A and B are shown apart, each in its own frame.
Chain A
């Protein structure tokens, strides 16, 4: 009974994956026929080396998050990955976003995650930290998605325009207080609601006995 259910689930899942790949490749084929802009081979400079190092840091950290058996190592991998993403922002001449990434993600979210790990992980129980289920199906889905995204990334002829990097902090400040004032205020409202909600959810309820 159980195996039959599993078989049906696998059949449906693979049919969905194959269908998605078929539909997407059919939609993509005109763009693919046009041919993507091949990266121009040039001398390998120091900046390229730094880029590949940062990209390796990002991907390696993410791989540690995904594959490590120990949740604490996963958190450290997340640290590496977030740092790498901040480095990518620097490469993309988005200085303010890079600094915000370091402040908010590494200074805030990661510390929060580490707190949650420490508070919820019982050291004595090893199996609670990480047994995983469905490696085959999860890996298949992730691999198919990765293949599709890579095809899109390298084969679509993106309309790339050469653009000079300029400092962004002051223009972003102006944009936030002029063009995006309403979303900005809404974000502050959401943060306030989050603050109150997180406190109410996480506190221990004190009951009158």
Chain B
């Protein structure tokens, strides 16, 4: 049987749920960012799948490209913030970062 829209949606759903689980349970800030990346990827799979099966054209793919660009920007700034937190608090436990200054 040929993979239908539902197959792609199911893969994206599992990916999103695992990303959400990562964000909710991890204390390591880098791991939380990884979870966010997983969720963004899941939404991207949905965009491209709906573009292919339902909408047609290229709008979904272009939107997915913008999502990829913004995800890269988010990762760069997020990891810079993580490094800054590490310099300040000497840990990247997300529970430790409860101050905005030293």
- Which A residues have a C-beta under 8 Å from some C-beta of B? 36-37, 39-42, 44, 47-48, 51, 55, 58-59, 62-63, 65-66, 71, 74-75, 78, 81-82, 85, 88-89, 91-94, 96-97, 100-101, 104-105, 108-109, 112-113, 115-117, 119-121, 128-135, 137-139, 141-143, 145-146, 149-150, 152-154, 158-161, 163, 165, 168, 171-172, 175-176, 180, 183, 187, 190-191, 194-195, 197-199, 201-202, 204
Main secondary structure of the interface of B (DSSP, over half): helix
Q: Which of B25, B71, B75, B82 contacts A138 (CB 8 A)?
A: B25
Q: Which 5 interchain pairs have the tightest Cβ spacing?
A: A138-B24, A153-B9, A149-B13, A146-B17, A202-B80
Bound CA–CA A38/B24 (angstroms):
34
Given contacts A48-B3, A59-B15, 4 further A-B contacts (CB under 8 A): A81-B15, A101-B68, A160-B4, A187-B70
User: From residue 6 to 45 of chain B, which have CB atoms closer than 8 A to chain A?
Assistant: 6-22, 24-31, 33-35, 37-38, 41, 44-45
Bound CA–CA A56/B57 (angstroms):
28
Nearest Cβ distance between residue A163 and chain B, in whole angstroms? 5
Task: Write out, one digit per residue, whether chain B residues 40-58 have a CB within 8 A of any chain A CB (1) or not (0).
Answer: 0100110011011110101
Contact A62–B1 (Cβ < 8 Å): no
> Could you list 18 A-B pairs, sorted by A, with CB under 8 Å?
A36-B6, A66-B25, A66-B35, A75-B34, A94-B52, A97-B44, A105-B37, A109-B75, A116-B33, A119-B83, A133-B25, A134-B24, A142-B17, A149-B9, A154-B10, A158-B6, A161-B53, A190-B70
Contact B11–A78 (Cβ < 8 Å): no
Bound CA–CA A149/B77 (angstroms):
30
Contacts of B27 in A (CB 8 A): 130-133
Asked if A190 meets B53 with Cβ closer than 8 Å, knowing A130-B27, A150-B13, A154-B6, the reply is no
- Which B residues have a C-beta under 8 Å from some C-beta of A? 1-22, 24-31, 33-35, 37-38, 41, 44-45, 48-49, 51-54, 56, 58, 61-62, 64-66, 68-73, 75-77, 79-84, 86-87, 91-93
Q: Which of B17, B58, B79, B82 contacts A149 (CB 8 A)?
A: B17
Nearest Cβ distance between residue A14 and chain B, in whole angstroms? 15
A101: nearest chain-B partner, CB-CB: B68
Bound CA–CA A44/B3 (angstroms):
11
Contact A202–B52 (Cβ < 8 Å): no
Nearest Cβ distance between residue B9 and chain A, in whole angstroms? 3
Contact B30–A96 (Cβ < 8 Å): no
Contact B91–A145 (Cβ < 8 Å): no
Nearest Cβ distance between residue A99 and chain B, in whole angstroms? 11
B3: nearest chain-A partner, CB-CB: A51
Contact A116–B79 (Cβ < 8 Å): yes
Asked if A145 meets B22 with Cβ closer than 8 Å, knowing A89-B48, A197-B77, the reply is no
